[in-house]
């Protein structure tokens, strides 16, 4: 055991806990035990995005949470987005992102930037943070080990389905071969995956990270899929948080328009995963420090849980 003082980030956490009595701390740890036992050895796929990914303090919290889950015997797999970082990089070369129906139009030049940002800058930042927090993270893209095969996304107009939009090198998943992820997991590593796929002629495709996380959770038969967002979770029409929903209830919320806009693709991925064997899907607020740990290891709901049945 090292006698070195904790790093600055840890000192802050120590201070946060100073007002908690030893008895309460013990109570908190004891409460986590049944969850640790229940999820030991299970795979948890985490979609990392939003504020949790751009706020330095929340980045540290996220990395610590992932390492803790690994150390108590779970198998976290991280899939990350990078929208704001891509916009920033495009602005540097004087290019403005264009979107059709919420999907980034990805021409050849944009695709180069997307690859450089996702597989380079963003992925390596996350890998570094997890390693500094005491984990062993390894960065992957869809090319590594033939992980994500994709084809060009056919995007139909939402008002006129006979019309198709060309959104460039945006892909939809054809198949996922999880063997490289499983090999890393079995070897104590934490995979960090950029949502980039490849086509039959070696073309590059940019894929929605929520979709990649959902499909990966299905293929890995994950216990949980956790989506970090910039919202408290799924809200009803009067703005109250819905903490526990079945797949059927979600279908009803789609039908009556309660779920719309930017939440649609996220919830659609979550719903597919829940219907395809992932036990529970959690849509949680990444702006709350350690929200992921609180959601997985305590009774308290920190977002919306979608049950598979």
User: For the chain, which residues make up each domain, given as ranges?
Assistant: 81-207
Annotated binding-site residue? 82: yes
Annotated binding-site residue? 104: yes
The three-state DSSP-derived secondary structure of the chain is CCCCCCCHHHHHHHHHHCCCCHHHHHHHHHHHHHHHHHHCCCEEEEEECCHHHHCHHHHHHHHHHHHHHHHCCCEEEEEECCHHHHHHHHHHCCCCCCEECCEECECHHHHHHHHHHHHHHHHHHHHHHHHHCCCCEEEECCCHHHCEEEEECCEECCCCCCCEECCECEEEEEEECCHHHHHHHHCCCEEEECCEEECCCCCEEECCHHHHHHHHHHHCCCCEEEEEECCCCCECCCCCECCEEEHHHHHHHHHCCCCCCCHHHHHHHHHHHHHCCCCEEEEEECCCCCHHHHHHHCCCCCEEEEECC
CATH architecture of 81-207: 3-Layer(aba) Sandwich (3.40)
pLDDT mean across residues, the chain: 87
Q: How much of the chain, in percent, has pLDDT values that exceed 90?
A: 53
Q: How much of the chain, in percent, has pLDDT values that exceed 70?
A: 93
Other CB atoms within 10 Å distance of the CB of residue 268: 17
100 pLDDT higher than 80? yes
Annotated binding-site residue? 151: no
| φ and ψ of 28, to 5 deg | -60, -45
14 pLDDT higher than 50? no
pLDDT tens-place string over residues 146-193: 999 999 998 888 888 889 989 999 999 999 999 999 999 888 999 999
């Amino acid at each position: 055991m090292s006698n070195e003082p904790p790093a600055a980030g840890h000192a802050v956490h120590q201070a946060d806990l100073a007002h908690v009595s030893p008895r309460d701390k013990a109570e908190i740890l004891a409460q986590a035990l049944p969850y640790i036992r229940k999820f030991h050895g299970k795979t948890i796929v985490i979609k990392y995005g939003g504020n949790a990914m751009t706020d330095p303090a929340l980045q540290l919290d996220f990395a610590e949470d992932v390492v803790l889950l690994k150390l108590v015997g779970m198998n976290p797999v991280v899939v990350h987005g990078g929208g704001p970082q891509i916009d920033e990089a495009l602005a540097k070369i004087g290019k403005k992102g264009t979107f059709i129906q919420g999907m980034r139009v990805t021409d050849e030049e944009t695709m180069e930037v997307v690859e450089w940002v996702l597989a380079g800058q963003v992925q390596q930042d996350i890998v570094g943070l997890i390693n500094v927090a005491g984990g062993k993270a390894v960065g992957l893209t869809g090319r590594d080990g033939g992980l994500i095969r994709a084809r060009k996304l056919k995007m139909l107009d939402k008002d006129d389905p006979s019309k198709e939009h060309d959104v460039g090198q945006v892909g939809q998943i054809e198949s996922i071969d999880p063997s490289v992820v499983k090999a890393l997991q079995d070897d104590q590593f934490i995979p960090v995956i950029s949502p980039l796929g490849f086509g039959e002629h070696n073309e590059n495709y940019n894929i929605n990270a929520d979709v990649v996380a959902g499909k990966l959770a299905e293929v890995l038969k994950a216990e949980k899929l956790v989506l970090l967002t910039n919202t408290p979770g799924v809200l009803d029409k009067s703005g109250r948080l819905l903490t526990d929903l079945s797949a059927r209830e979600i279908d009803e919320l789609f039908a009556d328009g309660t779920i719309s806009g930017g939440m649609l693709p996220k919830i659609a991925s979550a719903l597919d995963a829940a219907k395809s064997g992932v036990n529970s899907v959690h849509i949680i607020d990444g702006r709350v420090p350690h929200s992921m740990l609180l959601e997985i290891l305590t009774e308290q709901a920190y977002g919306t849980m979608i049950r598979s049945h």
